[in-house]
Amino acid sequence: GSFSYETICTECKGHSASSHTEFPFYELELNLGVMSGQPTLEKALAQYVKKENLTGDDQYCCDTCRKKCDATRQIKIKKLPHIVCLQLLR
């Protein structure tokens, strides 16, 4: 399968150039230890693809705005492999 890191500037709504780069994968590392309550596979997958806010010292350097801006970054699964291995980290 393949996935990409989608980074979107909150000011101009532009996507980073790397948002179009797909990375191959055949396994996912899902962290069960960071969940509150009873961990489930569904919660772990949701956490894996959850949007991350890039603010403060972690701001994104936007090519369109030509400055550091707040942004969101998220893993987007583009294609699933025929067989995927799930590593469950506790």
Residue 50 phi/psi, 5-degree rounding, is -65, 140
**Predicted confidence pLDDT, tens digits, the chain (90 residues):** 999 999 999 999 999 988 889 999 999 999 888 777 888 889 899 999 999 999 999 999 999 999 999 999 999 999 999 999 999 988
Rama region for 66: left / alpha / beta (φ>0; ψ in -120 to 50; rest): left
3-state SS assignment for residue 52: strand
User: 6 forms bridges with which residues in the sheet?
Assistant: 74
